A and B are shown apart, each in its own frame.
Chain A
């Protein structure tokens, strides 16, 4: 990555020079670009030239070939679970996205185009038919999915696209798709603006490499290829709405795509592993001396090690990470990879579940080496969106108990200080050790047996009849085996919530009928539909 940044820096410098000199005698206008002309002319800036006007409009890039033979339009009908009435199937949503054919008779698209879907059809250019499709693999953590076509001849005459590398900063790229639901293919063009780690909003908890481009990307572009020199250099996936920032769109770069395709090659998507540590940069000279480090700009300080992660018992707070797999870690947390500078986590980003990573560390001023076998720590999933699963819940006496999650918080728009604290510090304060599920009394379906229980809404269950409740299964179990009187203690001060078992039993059918509750509990995060989750 370093090379890209260096080039980018020089190019930006030139551009600013160009702007600065615009007040000097106007340069001869640039000849209108003839379509089909070599694209290099508009991209590389001869350094010797004094004034280079910014070409507007940008000259058409080199034709990327007959994209119509690779691009498909995906119509997906999704059922989004209703966290406020989790026994219901949920709301029907219909969306249009793009996808493209890659080798092996597969179609690549975004996970968010096909997540939660129950029925998918695919259309291709010049063919009036809609073909049913199936999700083969879905990677919600990096917003990619592969779909397959049961129709035997679908891929006949389709041309699989090939992947390129990371495009240079300021080079021109074209995005293909069906923005705002249109039926015909649309092309937009822009330049590569920035390459950096970004939050992938589909899960809202994962960060990976992403490339910012200036091409217009709108809903419907999602999953479509972004091309340069007839090769795919990214998959368009997210952007800002117009009121936040203009002309800022993101695509998933090929290292992330290639990792996904490699991950599934064993027939299963294993997700990204994570070190599950937090660290601090080591740029303070006094701190470096305190830790016994030399003045060599190397090392970062381990702040926290998450017990549920692969580094637990191997790394300790206070350790200094000096090198990862032999790559020296600079004090600003960067390493050099293939001559490019990147955050050291990029080394882990390129690995798979079960792979190992080796750290050279300094512990209590002693050098040592440790090896960490990687996997994905589970507690993070609470802080991200879930897809293709039925919400877990227990309804008892009209009281709805649900485990805390991002989806649940958003559904109820909960702003309670304690709930927010439990959500935000679930991992950092290791709350998950005591409460693998943070069980919230999220809603109350009014009935005579719970008339006075409204003040308990939004509270977190601590124990039932003296037994600590750690998971929703334990809650279900405790309620099922409850004696005559059920005493539920919530976290914090407040009286216990008391229920009479026989009264609850008597109210059961009444509540089920009145509120049309089809199922009183769901304890398993089972897939909502077999169609969308074949690869999970």
Chain B
């Protein structure tokens, strides 16, 4: 199970070379001075939902990882580790003592989670890690792992790049450290802290064993997460709600009436987002954010990192509710718009980008299984879901803001058909988009559930965008055969709408 999880996150660690071990010893001895490492083992058991049989969960998985002990008795891990968990256990590295833990805050988009032991005294005697946010290109960071004995295994690597990259939940981009480091495989290598001068500088995001490149969630993102976690209501990282394109092309600059030097061309403003509310328009040139000017590629000059994409100003450096001045040029005239930042929840998408720690919604009618399209559903096709999943649905998901600009809706799909008396002749149908049921438009499973209750002349009529366009069921027969359907296919409940 463990190895599988490693493969899934493309972390396959290789054995260390002799030369490497020698180099590590200096780092290790420095860290060993600290009596009790600020590391605990984290053991997670969980159950993922089965989107192909949405009434049930998959076989349990277990993951073993490390957590960084932070002040106030909290343990920092990645969200990946504890998503869909149903039991989390902390284990002291040196004594093997164990206790249960709760997930206090989780941010899937930034891939961070905070754990708290149920036993308050469990972390006593451990000096928590401070956080250092001053890492720059050229710094050396140590990856802290644990030997089976509980001893520290530290590997040092060089920070080669600081840039904006997508995180596993692919929403926008976040600041990332890229580190060249020869990691070794250890059983608990799932969440690995990266340490500079005994202070926490980052957390392992992904590792490619072939190129020996590690991407880390950097301290500024962790700090942002922790600061918000201290508030009553965790809101998550904000976003602006517009897309942009470089203005390197002089012909495009000329067309947009841009006389200055920098700026990016606004290509899309999504309805309902901060950018729309602030009055940003397609065709505007964003030339600056706050006190920072943007170049033609959308980079500003960061005091620590130099040139980096401006989205960093709206994520690491800003919080939901902040008002950010946006300097723009509209038809050659400079203007200022005030962007009141908001976090966009997964539920605010037409096809939600993730759906974790929640049971998928579904509705079964006579053997027809209806679900709502989400990227979580598409990811059921595996790592290559973008090529393997039904292409029409991948297209809907990818172009959702263009295809469904009204936003406040779901795409209801007929995902599969269970052969039964009601579905004779329908058993080959799958992956259809539902438009209407009993003449009523369907924009969510709730719409569908309501419409199904009102058969027309004894029939439930389902209309689909794709062929065969129409499917009819006998309402009385559907009701009569529901118990047999549940029994035959082991369906605990024919619907889940909460």
Bound CA–CA A453/B246 (angstroms): 11
User: Would you list which residues of chain B between 259 and 305 have a CB under 8 Å from chain A?
Assistant: 265, 267-268, 282
Partner of B252, one of A282, A303, A495: A495
Establish whether residues B398 and A500, one from each chain, have CB atoms under 8 Å apart when the complex forms.
no
CB nearest neighbor in B for A449:
B251
CB distance from B404 to the nearest CB of A (A): 14
Could you say which of B41-49, B152-160, B421-429 contacts chain A?
Answer: B421-429
Bound CA–CA A453/B399 (angstroms): 22
Bound CA–CA A417/B387 (angstroms): 9
User: Would you list which residues of chain B between 446 and 487 have a CB under 8 Å from chain A?
Assistant: 459, 461, 466-474, 477
Bound CA–CA A487/B467 (angstroms): 38
Establish whether residues B467 and A455, one from each chain, have CB atoms under 8 Å apart when the complex forms.
no
CB distance from A129 to the nearest CB of B (A): 53
Establish whether residues B425 and A283, one from each chain, have CB atoms under 8 Å apart when the complex forms.
yes
Residues of B within 8 A of A44 (CB): none
Q: Mark B135-153, 1 if CB is under 8 A from A, else 0.
A: 0000000000000000000
Residues of B within 8 A of A280 (CB): 467-469
Establish whether residues B245 and A455, one from each chain, have CB atoms under 8 Å apart when the complex forms.
yes
CB distance from A148 to the nearest CB of B (A): 44
Bound CA–CA A455/B264 (angstroms): 15
Bound CA–CA A285/B474 (angstroms): 9
Is B36 among interface residues, defined by CB-CB distance under 8 A?
Answer: no
* Residues A493 and B402 in contact in the complex (CB < 8 Å), given A280-B467, A303-B467: yes
Residues of A within 8 A of B243 (CB): 493
CB distance from B435 to the nearest CB of A (A): 13
Establish whether residues B474 and A286, one from each chain, have CB atoms under 8 Å apart when the complex forms.
yes
Establish whether residues A499 and B251, one from each chain, have CB atoms under 8 Å apart when the complex forms.
yes
* Residues A424 and B391 in contact in the complex (CB < 8 Å), given A453-B249, A494-B245: yes
Is B394 among interface residues, defined by CB-CB distance under 8 A?
Answer: yes
Residues of A within 8 A of B395 (CB): 417-418, 420-421
Establish whether residues A289 and B255, one from each chain, have CB atoms under 8 Å apart when the complex forms.
no
Interface residues on B, range: 35 or more
Partner of A421, one of B282, B391, B424: B391
CB distance from B201 to the nearest CB of A (A): 35
Is B392 among interface residues, defined by CB-CB distance under 8 A?
Answer: yes
Is B441 among interface residues, defined by CB-CB distance under 8 A?
Answer: no
Is B254 among interface residues, defined by CB-CB distance under 8 A?
Answer: yes
CB nearest neighbor in B for A492:
B402
Is B248 among interface residues, defined by CB-CB distance under 8 A?
Answer: yes
Q: Mark A275-286, 1 if CB is under 8 A from B, else 0.
A: 000101111111
Establish whether residues B255 and A485, one from each chain, have CB atoms under 8 Å apart when the complex forms.
yes
Bound CA–CA A424/B395 (angstroms): 12
Bound CA–CA A281/B461 (angstroms): 17
Is A317 among interface residues, defined by CB-CB distance under 8 A?
Answer: yes
User: Would you list which residues of chain B between 377 and 430 have a CB under 8 Å from chain A?
Assistant: 387, 391-392, 394-395, 398-399, 402, 422-426
CB nearest neighbor in A for B467:
A303
* Residues A421 and B392 in contact in the complex (CB < 8 Å), given A284-B425, A284-B472: yes
CB distance from B277 to the nearest CB of A (A): 19
* Residues A286 and B245 in contact in the complex (CB < 8 Å), given A278-B467, A493-B268, A498-B252: no
Establish whether residues B255 and A494, one from each chain, have CB atoms under 8 Å apart when the complex forms.
no
Establish whether residues A286 and B267, one from each chain, have CB atoms under 8 Å apart when the complex forms.
no
CB nearest neighbor in B for A287:
B472
Establish whether residues A290 and B461, one from each chain, have CB atoms under 8 Å apart when the complex forms.
yes
Establish whether residues B251 and A500, one from each chain, have CB atoms under 8 Å apart when the complex forms.
yes
Bound CA–CA A496/B267 (angstroms): 9
Residues of B within 8 A of A495 (CB): 245, 252, 256, 265, 267
* Residues A283 and B391 in contact in the complex (CB < 8 Å), given A301-B468, A487-B255, A493-B402: no
Bound CA–CA A453/B426 (angstroms): 48
Establish whether residues A452 and B477, one from each chain, have CB atoms under 8 Å apart when the complex forms.
no
Bound CA–CA A290/B461 (angstroms): 9
CB distance from A256 to the nearest CB of B (A): 27
Q: Mark A482-507, 1 if CB is under 8 A from B, else 0.
A: 00010100001111111110010000
CB nearest neighbor in B for A503:
B251
**Which among B398, B402, B467 has the greatest number of chain A C-beta atoms within 10 A?**
B467
Bound CA–CA A166/B402 (angstroms): 53
Is A535 among interface residues, defined by CB-CB distance under 8 A?
Answer: no
Residues of A within 8 A of B394 (CB): 417
Residues of B within 8 A of A424 (CB): 391
Residues of A within 8 A of B250 (CB): 452
Is A247 among interface residues, defined by CB-CB distance under 8 A?
Answer: no
Is A33 among interface residues, defined by CB-CB distance under 8 A?
Answer: no
Is A384 among interface residues, defined by CB-CB distance under 8 A?
Answer: no
Residues of B within 8 A of A204 (CB): none
Establish whether residues B470 and A318, one from each chain, have CB atoms under 8 Å apart when the complex forms.
yes
CB distance from A105 to the nearest CB of B (A): 48
Establish whether residues B267 and A493, one from each chain, have CB atoms under 8 Å apart when the complex forms.
yes
Q: Mark A443-479, 1 if CB is under 8 A from B, else 0.
A: 0000000011101000000000000000000000000
Is A171 among interface residues, defined by CB-CB distance under 8 A?
Answer: no
Bound CA–CA A286/B252 (angstroms): 59
Residues of A within 8 A of B268 (CB): 493
CB nearest neighbor in A for B242:
A493
CB distance from A485 to the nearest CB of B (A): 7
**Which among A283, A289, A452 has the greatest number of chain B C-beta atoms within 10 A?**
A452
Bound CA–CA A487/B256 (angstroms): 11
Is A304 among interface residues, defined by CB-CB distance under 8 A?
Answer: yes
CB distance from A515 to the nearest CB of B (A): 21
Establish whether residues B425 and A282, one from each chain, have CB atoms under 8 Å apart when the complex forms.
yes
Establish whether residues A498 and B249, one from each chain, have CB atoms under 8 Å apart when the complex forms.
yes
Residues of A within 8 A of B254 (CB): 485, 498, 500
CB distance from B208 to the nearest CB of A (A): 23
Bound CA–CA A301/B246 (angstroms): 51
CB nearest neighbor in B for A318:
B470
Establish whether residues A418 and B399, one from each chain, have CB atoms under 8 Å apart when the complex forms.
yes
Residues of B within 8 A of A500 (CB): 251, 254
Which 8 pairs from chain A and chain B are nearest by CB? A283-B425, A280-B468, A452-B249, A284-B425, A286-B474, A493-B268, A303-B467, A290-B472
Known pairs A287-B471, A498-B252. 13 more at Cβ < 8 A? A283-B424, A284-B423, A286-B422, A287-B425, A291-B472, A318-B469, A415-B387, A417-B391, A418-B395, A487-B255, A492-B402, A493-B268, A495-B252
Residues of B within 8 A of A (CB): 243, 245-246, 248-252, 254-256, 265, 267-268, 282, 387, 391-392, 394-395, 398-399, 402, 422-426, 459, 461, 466-474, 477
Instruction: List 9 A–B pairs whose Cβ atoms lie within 8 Å, in order of A's numbering.
Output: A280-B469, A284-B426, A301-B468, A303-B469, A317-B470, A417-B391, A424-B391, A493-B267, A495-B267
Residues of A within 8 A of B (CB): 278, 280-287, 289-291, 301, 303-304, 317-318, 331, 415, 417-418, 420-421, 424-425, 428, 451-453, 455, 485, 487, 492-500, 503
